[in-house]
Structure 1
Amino acid sequence: MKAAILAVILSCSAHSRAATPAPAKESPAPHELEAVQKQAAGKLELGAAKKESLPREILWVRDSVEYAKACVQAFRWGGQAVEKASRRQKGDWAVVLDVDETVLSNLQYQIELGGKPYDPQSWDAWVRRKEGVPIPGAREFLDRVRSLEGGHVVFITDRRSSQEEATIENLGALGLFKDGDLLLGKIDKADTKEARRRCVEQGKRGQNPRCQARSPMPIIALFGDSFRDFEEKYEAQAYAARSDEDARWGGRFFVIPNPLYGQWERGYK
């Protein structure tokens, strides 16, 4: 009898052990899963050792919240100023913007340069790849300008005039360039940004054929990442010392931060 009872107990114990599933491995949290996926793709998370091989200015533009918010802030303040100034305009008017590092980020090009100096051949190849991405806040600002009565968007860039088509296609694919906008690349050394701003202001009344189809338009705001987007090169060094007293900064002139390159590297010479 005792032997039979013992056999039953052992049988139940064995069945209990077999029926109890092994503890399941805990599923990773969504952010952990994302990190695993990025590592599997060869993209390291913030703080990984490989990332530190990039210059700090590239890391700041690529990774910092502060950079993105500084750009958004400039465009929002600029939007408020443009909206206010537009109420005083009769007829057409324009906002003029630089392209590179103002509305279009070329950070990937800087990364691919790997610390080597800029050269026209690699830059031209990059432009024709049409892989620039929007600067934070730019698209919303441009749409705001276009929504205002009489408002026109004009891009004045140091990209060569031969690169205009690729540039417009890159901007257009991102919703940054739309019908009615104007883009003026650089034809030659004499074709300064100041000369092209005059072209916009004079329109069909001027001598520049590139603006002959346009009505004259006052420029009520300028956006750029370089001093030359606001003042010509020969004026920059003398003007820089007193620019903090000029009410146009933050009123008509709006700067997008660019720690990657600029006139500051050459002392504004």
Structure 2
Amino acid sequence: MPRSPLSLSLLSLILAGGLSACAQHPAKPLGPPVSLADELVMATVWMQSSGEYAALSHQAFNLARMNLDRALSAPANGQQRRPAIIVDVDETVLDNSPYEAWLIAQSENYASDSWHKWVEKASAVPIPGAKAFLDYAASRGVEVFYVTNRRDSETEATLRNLQQVGFPDADSEHFLPRSDSSDKTARRQRVAQSHWVVLLMGDNLGDFSAGFDRDTAPARRAAVNAQADAFGSRYIVLPNPAYGDWEEAIYGGDWSLSDEQKSRARRNHLEVWGGPATR
């Protein structure tokens, strides 16, 4: 709508007053832009340096070993299929924290191009306890299947990495990467058709069942609580505070949010103490 001469005059006076006020009271400078990479620091340094992280990893694999022994010593009950375990790769048996540290150092967010270059290096080392456990499983005649959401195009490099660290069954027969869908259900079922799957290991709820895939963080936690008895028995979880589907749930499933919106969503999910009582 065109402005009348009167409204233009008023606008001029308002702007003039505003500029005068700004000269007397300079606007507070904007803070630095949000860096999601900086928010990775605590999680990554904990994974790389804390004894607690190593302890939790060893604890997970020790528990897996006990459950494996228990299952193998139980009566066969007509079970004819060869026993197997299904493990995820990233942050379950291979440590990618140097990539996370690189993101921090470069102030970068995850990107498929930089991730692919990291994978091509084939330099990830085993998670604490992973090598000993997988070797033990193989010594008991248990086959290891690597069900991962690394892409088909990353198969050669990943197998090279698995072989370099000496993991058993590091071959194309036992390696099931992502093709179209990130849902691992069909791949797990493929293993179960020919093998008795004793247990599953992963750092993400989707490594165990698509039933945990929910849109919100509270719904994911409720789904876990509904199957509490499965964890520590058939499902063995490795710690990973750096990334995962839990983060997507915080964003309401929308990865397209800006860094500022993601940072705000993270803070909005904090349960905050009300502080000391005031009188």
TM-score normalised by the chain length of structure 2: 0.67
CA contact (8 A) 2:200 2:235 kept: yes
Partner residue of 2:201?
Answer: 223
Matches within 5 A, 1:153-172: 153-172=144-163
Q: Which amino acid aligns with 1:221?
A: L
Q: 2:64 aligns with which of 70, 78, 84?
A: 78
Is 2:190 the partner of 1:182? Answer: no
Give the percent of matched residue pairs that are identical in Structure 1 and Structure 2: 35
Partner residue of 1:131?
Answer: 123
CA contact (8 A) 2:163 2:170 kept: no
- Matched residues in 2 for 1:133 and 1:247: separation? 31
- Matched residues in 2 for 1:179 and 1:227: separation? 24
CA distance 1:76–1:188, shift in 2 (3 Å): same
Q: Residue 264 of structure 1 aligns to a residue in which SS?
A: helix
Q: Residue 230 of structure 2 aligns to a residue in which SS?
A: coil
Partner residue of 2:238?
Answer: 256
- Matched residues in 2 for 1:87 and 1:53: separation? 46
Q: Which ranges in structure 2 are unaligned for 5 or more consecutive residues? A: 1-37, 254-279
- Matched residues in 2 for 1:62 and 1:142: separation? 22
- Matched residues in 2 for 1:118 and 1:223: separation? 24
Q: CA deviation at 1:188?
A: 1.1
Partner residue of 1:9?
Answer: none
- Matched residues in 2 for 1:260 and 1:53: separation? 9
Q: Which amino acid aligns with 1:162?
A: S
- Matched residues in 2 for 1:79 and 1:86: separation? 11
Q: CA deviation at 1:140?
A: 0.7
Q: Which moved more, 1:106-115 or 1:217-226?
A: 106-115
Deviations 1:215-262 (A, max 9, x none): x11211010000110121764454531423531110000000001111
Is 2:248 the partner of 1:266? Answer: yes
CA contact (8 A) 2:40 2:100 kept: no
Q: Residue 163 of structure 1 aligns to a residue in which SS?
A: helix
Q: Residue 54 of structure 2 aligns to a residue in which SS?
A: helix
- Matched residues in 1 for 2:160 and 2:71: separation? 30
CA contact (8 A) 1:168 1:177 kept: no
Partner residue of 1:117?
Answer: 109
Deviations 1:158-178 (A, max 9, x none): 000111111011011101244
Q: 1:244 aligns with which of 219, 225, 238?
A: 225
- Matched residues in 1 for 2:207 and 2:39: separation? 32
Matches within 5 A, 1:189-200: 189=181, 192-200=183-191
Cα RMSD after superposing both structures: 2.2
Q: Which moved more, 1:244-253 or 1:96-105?
A: 244-253
Which of the two has higher C-alpha Rg? 1
